[in-house]
Amino acid sequence: MTKSDETTDMAIANSASAEAGRRGDDVRSDCWVGITSTDSGGIDLELQSKVESMYGEATRRLVRAELEALGVAHARVRIEDRGALPYVIMARVETVNPNRKLHGQYLNSTT
């Protein structure tokens, strides 16, 4: 394990995770999004997409813009895209937002 890996593992150990969507070979026009909030390091975005060659960069820009709008500055984000339309991707990202509140409490709060 490298020093960078150790730092990443430590940041993730003190964080919250969430996921939304469907994944697998039988999924069509949908995506799965997993997010782990971190204390530092910016946005680490990994995209696996069956439409990567046509829409990969546009999808990355969309996700980064949505995360910025939601106030997420540091997170590890994994997306498995099976041809989801932009509004579906945005909804999945919003659903896993670690800054989201319910009844005045952050969803990733430990208190």
pLDDT at 15: 55
Could you tell me which residue, 25 or 3, shows the higher pLDDT? 25
CB atoms within 10 A of CB 50: 14
Q: Is it the case that residue 12 has pLDDT exceeding 50? A: no
Question: Which H helix or E strand runs over 59?
Answer: helix 52-69
The predicted model scores a pTM of 0.77
Q: Rounded to the nearest 5 degrees, what angle is found at the Cα of 109, between the Cα atoms of 107 and 111?
A: 130
Q: Which residue, among 42, 47, 32, has the nearest Cα to 11 in the 3D structure?
A: 42
Q: Is it the case that residue 10 has pLDDT exceeding 50? A: no
pLDDT at 14: 45
* Distance of alpha carbon 100 from alpha carbon 102, whole angstroms: 7
Q: What is the mean pLDDT of residues 9-22?
A: 67
Q: Rounded to the nearest 5 degrees, what angle is found at the Cα of 106, between the Cα atoms of 6 and 47?
A: 50
pLDDT at 19: 94
